[in-house]
Structures are given as C-alpha cells and as structure tokens.
Structure 1
Amino acid sequence: MTQQYVNKVDLVGRVGQTPDVRYFESGAMKTSLTLAVKPPYRSENPLWFDLELWGNIAQVAADWVQKGSTIGITGEIVFDRG
C-alpha cells in the first residue's frame, strides 16, 4: 500500500501590504505579499501568511491586488527553515 501526501491550503483574508513585484533577467516575475486570516473566534489575533506568487498569477496580483484587498488563494505550504 502506497502512502499519498497532500500539501494544499486554501486561504481567504486581507492583504496587509502593497504587493512587492520583482522581475528577473530570465523573464520570470514574482509578487510577494502578506495575508491576514481571521481565526474563527474574534478575540484571537489574525494569522499572518507570507505569500509568493509566480507567473501569470503574479501578474494578476500586481495589476489588481492592493493593501486591504480581500483575496482567496489556493496553494501549498513551504516552510522557511532559515
């Protein structure tokens, strides 16, 4: 029996900063932003996520997303071990 692992997360929240757009010599584009997600109970502080968007979705975010925007996004979790 083989084990299968799923690394998928769906987040809905508000953007905490103006997206940071970077262009690379290779032609690639990266948009970075932070997302605040409210926990189910109002008394708790929001959970903050650092997001990196690449390719076409990075372009969409650069064109349409701004600080305070409510967005929904699906992706995978990558832990920064540094």
Structure 2
Amino acid sequence: MAGLNKVILIGRIGKDPDTYSFDDGTKKISFSLATTESYKDRNSGDWVEQTEWHNIVGYRFLADKNFAKGDLVYVEGKIKTRKYSDRDGNERYITEIIGEKINILTRSQSSYESTGQQATTTRDETPAAPAEPLANDQPAAGAPDDDLPF
C-alpha cells in the first residue's frame, strides 16, 4: 500500500521571505510559519497557547508571490527531511514543508506599507438577518399529503 505525505497549515509568516534564483532560472522562496494552538490547562484551568514554527519552501511560481512578514497564509504540501553539512563540516538535518499551494488569506499591515497599497476592509459590517427557523411539523414543498408507510 502506498503512503500519504500531506500537510495543511494555516499560520502567520514570521519574517519577510528569502528568495533565490538558480542558474537554470528556477526560483525558490523560504520562510518560517507560526501556527498557534490553544488548549485548557487541566491543573489551572487557564487557556494556554502553544506556537510551533515550521520551515516552508516553495518553488517556481510560488516564489513569484508577494508574501510578507505577518501575512496569514494557507500552506498545502508535504514534509521533507534533508541532510546537509554546515560550515564546520558537521552533518545537520532539517525538516521542511515543501509547499505545493500557498495562498494569502489576510495581508499584514506591513505588507500593505511595503507595496504602497491601502489596507481596505471588504467585509460587510451589517449583521445578517437571522434565518427563519425550520418547522419540523410542516411538509416540504411538493411533498405528498398522504401518510408514509413507515
């Protein structure tokens, strides 16, 4: 049976991404992503936040997107661990998320300032009207009037 290597994360970019261009024209982007989970501590009853940092890497067209520190992004990809030698010749391992899809959900204020764009809100501030409650004792439109046999 084949395995599955799939990761989906939603979090904030920790610092402005690093971009690289290789000799063959391929582009690479890398950045750190913070995901935060909240849970209730069993002993104190207080809510505790725990933040995990993930190394995200994207290639080709993903490197052309204008990501910035603080942006809330959706990342879909796979986990990959690789080995490399540091400057002192020591073997090191790094685990990365290879992004296959990276979408900006919300831009940070600094992202707008760096691009010269104006931050605008597109959300409608008027509350939606409450939905009509469904009456369980009313037959659906077009339903037969006779009793069902069960």
* Interval containing the TM-score (normalised by the shorter chain): 0.7 to 0.9
One of 10, 13, 22 as aligned partner of 1:12: 10
1:34-49 to 2 correspondences below 5 Å: 34-41=32-39, 43-49=48-54
Residue in structure 2 matched with residue 66 of structure 1 by the alignment: 68
CA distance in 1 between counterparts of 2:25 and 2:38 reads: 41
Provide the aligned C-alpha RMSD in A.
1.3
Larger Rg: 2
Q: Which has the higher contact order (CA 8 A, sep 6+)?
A: 1
User: Normalization by structure 2: what TM-score?
Assistant: 0.48
How far 1:39 moved relative to its partner?
1.7
How far 1:80 moved relative to its partner?
3.5
Runs of 4+ in 1 over 4 A off after TM superposition: none
One of 55, 58, 77 as aligned partner of 1:50: 55
How many residues align structurally?
Answer: 77
How far 1:4 moved relative to its partner?
1.8
Q: Please, which runs of 5 or more residues in structure 2 have no aligned partner?
A: 40-46, 84-92, 94-150
Structure 1 residues 39-58: Cα deviation after superposition (integer angstroms, max 9, x where no partner): 24251330100011101112
User: Normalization by structure 1: what TM-score?
Assistant: 0.85
